[in-house]
């Protein structure tokens, strides 16, 4: 444990800064923020892909002295490899079909999946050589907490963005998902392993647990409320049931979180919050349910389209004409349902790969988070976050059309692989003892 905190501070700080630069900047920051990357194009693609490739190329020399074990080898132990193979098979088949059919943009639907794979492989290989690797995901969560503090300060002084007539700190969807993960992770650390960290780091953990959660609560975004609420309920239930032996103070932490929720909702206005919550209900009719019909009709339009080619799907790289949402958009490229999107673009094989991969990811992360006497809050939070992301994207768009979420998910996947490696030596020793006996 001492080695995790002795030295390497510069590397940890630099690692978090790079992650925040590529994932946390939003177009609603003063000065445009992330818009700069989207508005510039090179060779018909957003310029940020080329900037990202240059960044990864500059970091590549750091990997040369590190262990050579491949990411896919670690994921095999986590039982994700079969689904990775199925996913890439679906992608290759869809790409071949798109090229044969002359689709106008055959790469847009999957290029962020390639980013995820590259980032996961590089992050895993580099972090595997760092003594603080078990705290990497928590370091990132602390970083998002500080970014959230900036958003909250801007909002407190009259800034932010306005949605549905309400001023909120941010509308940055990718960052809000990262806030969900970070809030869950830091609450878990607060309740379990915080005594292992230096005092200053513990302060940042507590601060980040609050700021990440408050940004989500003030966002007025229903999918993110749902992901955070369900995840936090599981965390508190598990702590109260003493699922993690190191857990403590669950009742006090529960009361503190209830206080944070109440305070955030009072800041938004109780009538506003109640009306927004009411808009969850089918048939609700208020100013916050205005988009419900369009979102459900968007799903119905996509079901009609995929029904024409239920085995192979509609295909990647092309628009389809809408019927029920013609007043909103006459053509559509994606749908507000991630599973349906995978089916639409990559066929039944793609839909199966989406479900199988993410369910295996959730199960492996959750199992590894408590597989021995060393609790891994980052892995537990990752499992709850992925589950919340899948829940939120039932009426949300495909998460892998955001390069920021692709990078973030790549880091979570690297964290899972690191968790596998951390436990393999103990498991192999146990097997050897059994065989000798």
The pLDDT of 414-422, averaged and rounded, is 88
Mean pLDDT, residues 401-417 taken together: 91
Q: Is the pLDDT of residue 354 over 70?
A: yes
pLDDT tens-digit series, residues 51-87: 777 778 877 777 666 665 667 778 888 889 999 999 9
Q: How confident is the model at residue 360 (pLDDT cuts 50, 70, 90)?
A: very high
Residue 155 has pLDDT above 90, yes or no: yes
Give me the residue spans of the domains in the chain: 2-436
The predicted pLDDT at position 204 comes to 95
Q: What percent of the chain shows pLDDT beyond 90?
A: 39
The whole-number pLDDT of residue 432 equals 32
Which pLDDT belongs to residue 333? 85
Does residue 437 surpass a pLDDT of 70?
no
Q: What CA–CA distance (Å, rounded) separates 81 from 90?
A: 14
Confidence category of residue 44, pLDDT binned at 50, 70, 90:
low
pLDDT exceeds 70 at position 7: no
Residue 427 pLDDT exceeds 50: no
**Stated pTM of the model:** 0.89
At 320, the pLDDT band (50, 70, 90 cuts) reads confident
Residue 313's pLDDT band, with cuts at 50, 70 and 90, is very high
Q: Positive or negative, the Cα torsion across 100, 105, 108, 109?
A: negative
Q: What pLDDT shows up at residue 240?
A: 76
What band does 191 get if pLDDT is binned at 50, 70 and 90? confident
For the cut 50, the answer to whether the pLDDT of residue 91 exceeds it is yes
Higher-confidence residue of 42 and 93: namely 93
What average pLDDT does the structure give for the chain? 83
In the 3-class helix/strand/coil scheme, how is the chain assigned residue by residue?
A: CHHHCCCCHHHHHHHHHHHHHHHCCCCCCCCCCCHHHHHCEECCEECHHHHHHHHHHHHHHHHCCCCCCCHHHHHHHCCCHHHHHHHHHHHHHHHHHHHHHCCCCCCCCCHHHHHHHHHHHHHHHHHCCCCCHHHHHHHHHHHHHHHHHHHHHHHHCCCCEEECCEEECCCCHHHHHHHHHHHHHHHHHHHCCHHHCCHHHHHHHHHHHHHHHHHHHHCCCHHHHHHHHHHHHHHHHHHHCCCCCCCCCHHHHHHHHHHHHHHHHHHHCHHHHHHHHHCCCCCCCCCCCCCHHHHHHHHHHHHHHHHHCCCCCCCCCCCEECCCCCCCCCEECCCCCHHHHHHHHHHHHHHHHHHHHHHHHHHHHHHHCCCCCCCCHHHHHHHHHHHHHHHHCCCCCCHHHCHHHHHHHHHHHHHHHHHHHHHHHHHHHHHHHHHHC
């Amino acid at each position: 444990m001492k080695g995790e905190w002795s030295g390497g501070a510069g590397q940890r700080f630099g690692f978090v800064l790079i992650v925040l630069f590529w994932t946390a900047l939003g177009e609603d920051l003063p000065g445009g923020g992330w818009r700069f990357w989207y508005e510039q194009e090179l060779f018909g693609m957003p310029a940020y892909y080329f900037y990202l490739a240059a960044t990864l190329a500059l970091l590549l020399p750091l990997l040369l002295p590190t262990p050579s074990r491949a990411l896919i080898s670690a994921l095999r132990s986590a039982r994700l490899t079969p689904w990775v193979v199925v996913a890439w098979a679906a992608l290759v088949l869809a790409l071949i079909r798109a090229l044969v059919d002359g689709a106008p943009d055959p790469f847009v639907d999957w290029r962020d999946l390639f980013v995820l794979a590259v980032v996961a492989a590089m992050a895993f290989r580099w972090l595997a050589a760092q003594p603080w690797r078990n705290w990497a995901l928590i370091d990132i969560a602390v970083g998002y907490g500080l970014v959230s503090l900036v958003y909250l300060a801007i909002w407190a002084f009259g800034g932010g963005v306005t949605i549905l007539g309400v001023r909120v700190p941010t509308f940055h969807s990718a960052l809000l998902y990262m806030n969900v993960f970070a809030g869950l992770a830091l609450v878990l650390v607060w309740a379990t392993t915080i005594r292992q960290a230096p005092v200053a780091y513990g302060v940042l953990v507590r601060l980040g647990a609050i700021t990440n959660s408050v940004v989500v609560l003030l966002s007025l975004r229903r999918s993110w409320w749902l992901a955070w609420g369900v995840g936090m309920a599981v965390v508190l239930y598990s702590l109260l049931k003493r699922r993690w032996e190191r857990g403590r103070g669950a009742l006090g932490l529960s009361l503190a979180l209830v206080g944070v929720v109440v305070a955030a909702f009072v800041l938004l206005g109780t009538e506003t919050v109640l009306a927004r919550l009411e808009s969850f209900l089918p048939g609700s009719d208020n100013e916050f349910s205005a988009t419900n019909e369009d979102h459900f009709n968007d799903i119905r339009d996509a079901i009609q389209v995929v029904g024409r080619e239920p085995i192979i799907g509609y295909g990647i790289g092309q628009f389809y004409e809408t019927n029920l949402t013609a007043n909103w958009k006459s053509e559509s490229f994606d749908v507000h349902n991630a599973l349906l999107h995978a089916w639409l673009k990559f066929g039944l094989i793609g839909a199966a790969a989406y479900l199988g991969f993410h369910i295996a990811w959730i199960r492996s992360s959750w199992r590894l988070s408590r597989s021995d006497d060393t609790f891994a809050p980052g892995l537990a939070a990752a499992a709850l976050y992925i589950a919340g992301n899948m829940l939120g994207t039932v009426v949300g768009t495909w998460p892998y059309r955001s390069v920021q979420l692709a990078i973030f998910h790549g880091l979570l996947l690297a964290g899972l692989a690191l968790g596998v490696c951390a436990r393999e030596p103990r498991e192999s020793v146990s097997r050897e003892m059994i065989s000798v006996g």
